[in-house]
């Protein structure tokens, strides 16, 4: 469907606008319950006012929501239920409002209030839930629930690559992480849902994702486009597939979904290798990051760091490999303190950003324990040649950014002892060389 841009623009305010009326209507309901309980009518005026605001807000949310629906991509049935529930909420709240403002016999008013407010809250809850399903997927609420949640029913992770299931352990997690937010039963962008085999066979506007000839396959074409392209999937600006994920999805597609197929029965060495790397069961071809051997980090350690403002992202779900950033906005004192607190995570940090924290030489000591570090950003700190010492022992380090520190050629000996170091960025330092051993120095 092609709605004018301005309609879609306004429509996108729907999630913002809906929460206010929900609050007003619930408040009205709670005040009414309170009055009922205390057998008074002290809140009557406030209830009427709250209902008025709630009704106007709900009406606005309906109109804006309708605009959003014109942008397309939502499953019709799920959308219809949500829309009619929203309209019903508005009608019920209007009715409730009138019961507080029209002059009715006391008995009648009481009756109408009882029916309209109770129904209103029930339908309002349903509307909110259905709307949440449209946005997040119907699995969202229960995904992490014990026993009934889909997480609880997941297959256990494979121990060897031969046991791994092509769809369940490989294709599905990739799709869940990178596609499902827009291609579920509730939100079928391009008409395509990727929730299960049946939905995939049904396909989108271009037909079943398996039935299209390999050379003309729309899914395959889109995942291989450059990120700048208008048709690329995931769309530009979203986290793109890695090269490994692309190859695995392409292979999986060739097997027409390979549902129920183990990697053992696939019997394709190069695909098995990629899959093993994806699952963290094997080293990648450079022999580094043997991620399977990383021990997990207690959840509370990560949660405490997150609470203090550190940004932590797991590189591959379940790999225990982390990308960690201490934002420069936290300032020097906090930055130095947090660097020390990263200690329990030291072995698990693969990428680390410590830019612009004003860190000094002696504060860099904790880096020495981060044996698995591959990328390190230390730009715009207060480091001199002496500060490079703890880094010199990091065997896996490949990329180092030292831009904007008071460094000279004297630190090159230390840098040259980092075996795997490929690139060092030294803009705005006094380093003059452009190559040290195999390491490229970029100014």
Is residue 71 within 8 Å of residue 123, measured between CB atoms? no
Residue 153 makes CB contacts below 8 A (sequence gap 6+) with none
CA dist 94 and 101 (Å) reads 11
C-beta of 97: minimal distance to ligand HEC in Å?
Answer: 39
Q: Is 172 in the site for ligand HEC (CB under 6 A)?
A: no
C-beta of 74: minimal distance to ligand HEC in Å?
Answer: 11
CA dist 264 and 275 (Å) reads 11
Residue placing its CB nearer to ligand HEC in the complex, 188 or 377: 188
Q: Is 389 in the site for ligand HEC (CB under 6 A)?
A: no
Q: Is 188 in the site for ligand HEC (CB under 6 A)?
A: no
Q: Which stretch binds ligand HEC (CB under 6 A): 14-22, 121-129, 178-186, 289-297?
A: 178-186
CA angle 203/208/209 to nearest 5° reads 90
Q: Is 190 in the site for ligand HEC (CB under 6 A)?
A: yes
Other CB atoms within 10 Å distance of the CB of residue 22: 19
CA dist 437 and 400 (Å) reads 15
The correct pick among 178, 353, 377, 396 for binding ligand HEC (CB under 6 A) is: 178
Residue placing its CB nearer to ligand HEC in the complex, 132 or 344: 132
C-beta of 224: minimal distance to ligand HEC in Å?
Answer: 11
CA dist 29 and 38 (Å) reads 14
Residues 214 to 233: which contact ligand HEC by CB under 6 A? 218-219, 222-223, 231, 233
Residue placing its CB nearer to ligand HEC in the complex, 137 or 158: 137
**What phi-psi label fits residue 318: left (phi over 0), alpha (psi between -120 and 50 degrees) or beta?**
left
Q: Is 195 in the site for ligand HEC (CB under 6 A)?
A: no
Residues 64 to 123: which contact ligand HEC by CB under 6 A? 73
**End-to-end Cα distance, the chain:** 50
Backbone phi, then psi, for 30, in 5-degree steps? -65, -40
Tokens at residue 138, please? 């119907």
Q: Which stretch binds ligand HEC (CB under 6 A): 34-42, 200-208, 267-275, 352-360?
A: 200-208
The correct pick among 204, 257, 280, 356 for binding ligand HEC (CB under 6 A) is: 204
The correct pick among 192, 397, 402, 421 for binding ligand HEC (CB under 6 A) is: 192
Residue 105 makes CB contacts below 8 A (sequence gap 6+) with none
Tokens at residue 160, please? 């060897």
Residues 130 to 149: which contact ligand HEC by CB under 6 A? none
Residue 181 makes CB contacts below 8 A (sequence gap 6+) with 137, 187
Q: Is 201 in the site for ligand HEC (CB under 6 A)?
A: no
Q: Is 189 in the site for ligand HEC (CB under 6 A)?
A: yes
CA dist 239 and 380 (Å) reads 27
CA dist 38 and 133 (Å) reads 37
Residue placing its CB nearer to ligand HEC in the complex, 125 or 181: 181
Q: Is 235 in the site for ligand HEC (CB under 6 A)?
A: yes
Is residue 161 within 8 Å of residue 282, measured between CB atoms? yes
The correct pick among 238, 283, 325, 360 for binding ligand HEC (CB under 6 A) is: 238
Cα dihedral 244/247/253/255 (nearest 10): -100
Tally of residues, the chain:
443
Q: Is 366 in the site for ligand HEC (CB under 6 A)?
A: no
Residues 264 to 293: which contact ligand HEC by CB under 6 A? none
C-beta of 239: minimal distance to ligand HEC in Å?
Answer: 9
The correct pick among 14, 183, 377, 396 for binding ligand HEC (CB under 6 A) is: 183
Residue placing its CB nearer to ligand HEC in the complex, 175 or 310: 175
CA dist 41 and 443 (Å) reads 75
Binding site for ligand HEC (CB under 6 A): 73, 178-179, 181-183, 189-192, 203-206, 218-219, 222-223, 231, 233-235, 238, 241
């Amino acid at each position: 469907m092609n709605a004018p841009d301005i309609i879609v623009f306004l429509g996108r305010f729907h999630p913002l606008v809906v929460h206010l009326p929900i609050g007003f209507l619930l408040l009205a309901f709670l005040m009414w319950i309170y009055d009922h309980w205390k057998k008074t009518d002290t809140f009557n005026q406030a209830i009427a006012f709250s209902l008025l605001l709630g009704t106007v807000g709900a009406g606005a949310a309906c109109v804006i929501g309708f605009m959003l629906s014109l942008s397309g991509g939502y499953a019709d049935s799920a959308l219809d239920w949500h829309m009619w529930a929203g309209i019903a909420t508005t009608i019920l709240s209007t009715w409730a409002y009138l019961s507080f403002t029209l002059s009715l016999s006391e008995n009648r008013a009481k009756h109408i209030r009882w029916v309209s407010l109770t129904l209103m809250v029930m339908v309002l809850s349903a509307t909110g839930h259905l709307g949440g399903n449209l946005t997040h997927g119907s699995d969202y609420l229960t995904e992490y629930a014990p026993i009934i949640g889909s997480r609880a029913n997941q297959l256990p992770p494979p121990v060897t690559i031969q046991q791994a299931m092509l769809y369940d352990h490989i294709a599905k997690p990739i799709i869940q992480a990178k596609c499902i937010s827009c291609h579920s039963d509730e939100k079928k962008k391009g008409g395509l849902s990727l929730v299960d085999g049946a939905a995939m066979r049904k396909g989108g506007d271009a037909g079943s994702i398996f039935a299209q000839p390999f050379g003309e396959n729309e899914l395959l074409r889109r995942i291989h486009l450059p990120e700048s392209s208008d048709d690329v999937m995931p769309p530009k600006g979203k986290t793109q597939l890695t090269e490994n994920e692309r190859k695995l999805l392409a292979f999986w597609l060739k097997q027409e979904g390979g549902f129920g197929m183990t990697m053992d029965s696939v019997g394709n060495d190069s695909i098995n290798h990629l899959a093993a790397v994806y699952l963290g069961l094997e080293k990648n071809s450079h022999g580094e990051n043997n991620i399977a051997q990383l021990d997990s980090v207690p959840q509370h350690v990560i949660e405490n760091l997150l609470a203090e403002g550190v940004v932590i992202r797991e590189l591959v779900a379940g790999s225990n490999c982390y990308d960690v950033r201490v934002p420069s906005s936290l300032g020097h004192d906090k930055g130095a303190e947090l660097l020390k607190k990263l200690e329990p995570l030291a072995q698990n940090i693969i990428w680390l950003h410590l830019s612009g924290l004003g860190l000094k030489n002696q504060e860099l000591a904790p880096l020495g324990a981060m044996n698995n570090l591959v990328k390190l950003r230390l730009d715009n700190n207060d480091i001199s040649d002496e500060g490079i010492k703890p880094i010199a022992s990091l065997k896996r380090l490949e990329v180092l950014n030292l831009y904007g520190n008071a460094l000279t050629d004297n630190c090159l000996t230390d840098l040259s002892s980092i075996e795997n170091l490929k690139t060092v960025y030294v803009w705005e330092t006094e380093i003059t060389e452009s190559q040290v051993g195999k390491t490229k120095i970029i100014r």
